[in-house]
Amino acid sequence: MNVLVINAGSSSLKFQLLDVDTREVYAKGNCERIGIDGSFVGYESCVADGKQTLEVDLPDHKTAVKHVFDIVKATGKDFVGIGHRVVQGGWYFPESKVVTDESLGWVREVAPLAPLHNYAEADVIQICRELFPEIGNVIVADTSFHYNIPERAWRYALPRDVVDKLHIRKYGAHGTSHRYIWRATKEFLGDDVHKLVSCHLGSGASLAGITDGKDMDTTMGLTPLDGLIMGTRCGTIDPATVVYLQREGGYSVDDVDTMMNKQSGLLALSAISSDSRDIEQAADNGDEFCAMAIEMFAYRTAQLIMEMAQANEGMDTIAFSAGIGENSARMRAEVIKKLAWMGVCIDDEKNAVRSDEVRDISGANSSVRVLVVPTNEEYMIALDVAELLG
Ligand code: AMP
């Protein structure tokens, strides 16, 4: 059964056409620089040789969606529906839902919690409905997996009337990825996994504590700014810093928002790049800022692994995933080194292996199993679509 998965951003639109039974991908790509000069569609398809680039004008998302459908149509594969990744599901999406006027309205209603993403996503869903009314659409929110974490984990210690009025709570993000990481870990370990700490370490980064498939806590909060240090996001800091920057530093609300989301994190620490590859290379060449950026990222990750272990009241498995978690043997080693006091260790040779498969990199006698689990959010979204529309 084939499904088209769409992940729309404010100026980009990623897509993938895949078979949920065989996991075969028939077409995938990205429409980039939508509404900006120099737009193009980069893609691969089962009916084209290698990577393709269409240098086309993409003035809006509607034009991008039309190109995606041309590419998908050329594969000759039918599909049962379209799965849309939605960053913020708010209080309406404890699970994935078929698109109706009502559910699409909810995506817009909660958009103030993720304005850069939700409005574009809602627009693209509406475009798909108008262009192809015969095809069903499904909303898969990144927050769903976290919605039913225990109240002690999601509630903020702010006045009740305020949090009720403004729907303030921990929503988390990367839920679809954490859900996949649990599934893949369970497939790999069977009955040997019960208490997993899932580490999605990419340019955005979050952890989840998962017990027998149920999410117990996660490190992102009301928005994806909380928790770990990220590529350009500061992660957890004293909340009073926000007020202090405005009162004493003279920064506006928008300045602080931009600073914390786009100018902080690894970029600010290293003073050269948000990309961990650049940072690792510079650290090797003696750059002290970069060495400290790696140290801080690893320290915070290890600290938050322990927080998630507490949410699980135990930990038998740690899984590393996403860009840094899957590819940086060095960062994995730095994180695990910090947990040596509790008997966690990895095997350096196994850690150095590169592969697209789930792999066990635990050291002999490690108190906790350590895995690398390549994430696959598109597959998880496609599974939901198959279940709801198949
Ligand atoms: P993602 O958001 O999951 O695409 O992850 C992006 C992050 O993964 C960036 O910080 C990249 O630098 C990082 N990354 C990708 N490949 C590697 C690698 N081989 N070594 C270190 N970091 C990597």
Report which of 209, 234, 233, 232 is spatially closest to residue 219, judged by C-alpha positions: 209
Index of the ligand 1 atom closest to the CA of residue 280: 21
Give the residue, out of 176, 198, 276, with the most ligand 1 atoms within 8 A of its beta carbon, to mutate for a pocket test.
276
Report pLDDT digits (tens) over 12-65. 999 999 999 999 999 999 999 999 999 999 999 999 999 999 999 999 999 999
**Residue 10 clears pLDDT 90, i.e. is over it:** no
| Percentage of the chain exceeding pLDDT 90 | 97
Report which of 369, 374, 258 is spatially closest to residue 314, judged by C-alpha positions: 369
How high is the pLDDT of residue 363?
98
Place 116 in a pLDDT band, splitting at 50, 70 and 90. Answer: confident
Report which of 173, 182, 104, 103 is spatially closest to residue 142, judged by C-alpha positions: 173
Taking the centre of ligand 1 as the mean of its atom positions, its distance from the CA of residue 18, in whole angstroms, is: 24
User: Half-sphere exposure of residue 373, counting CA atoms within 13 Å on the CB side?
Assistant: 28
Index of the ligand 1 atom closest to the CA of residue 331: 21
Decide if 26 contacts 45 (C-beta within 8 A). yes
d(Cα 296, Cα 151) in Å, to the nearest integer? 30
Index of the ligand 1 atom closest to the CA of residue 200: 3
Taking the centre of ligand 1 as the mean of its atom positions, its distance from the CA of residue 153, in whole angstroms, is: 29
CA nearest ligand 1 atom 17, residue: 327
The residues annotated as belonging to the active site are: 142
Place 390 in a pLDDT band, splitting at 50, 70 and 90. Answer: confident
Report pLDDT digits (tens) over 144-181. 999 999 999 999 999 999 999 999 999 999 999 999 99
Place 335 in a pLDDT band, splitting at 50, 70 and 90. Answer: very high
Taking residues 184-213, report their average pLDDT. 97
Taking the centre of ligand 1 as the mean of its atom positions, its distance from the CA of residue 325, in whole angstroms, is: 8
d(Cα 2, Cα 114) in Å, to the nearest integer? 30
Give this prediction's pTM.
0.95
The bridge status of strand 214-218 relative to strand 205-211 is: antiparallel
Give the residue, out of 180, 203, 220, with the most ligand 1 atoms within 8 A of its beta carbon, to mutate for a pocket test.
203
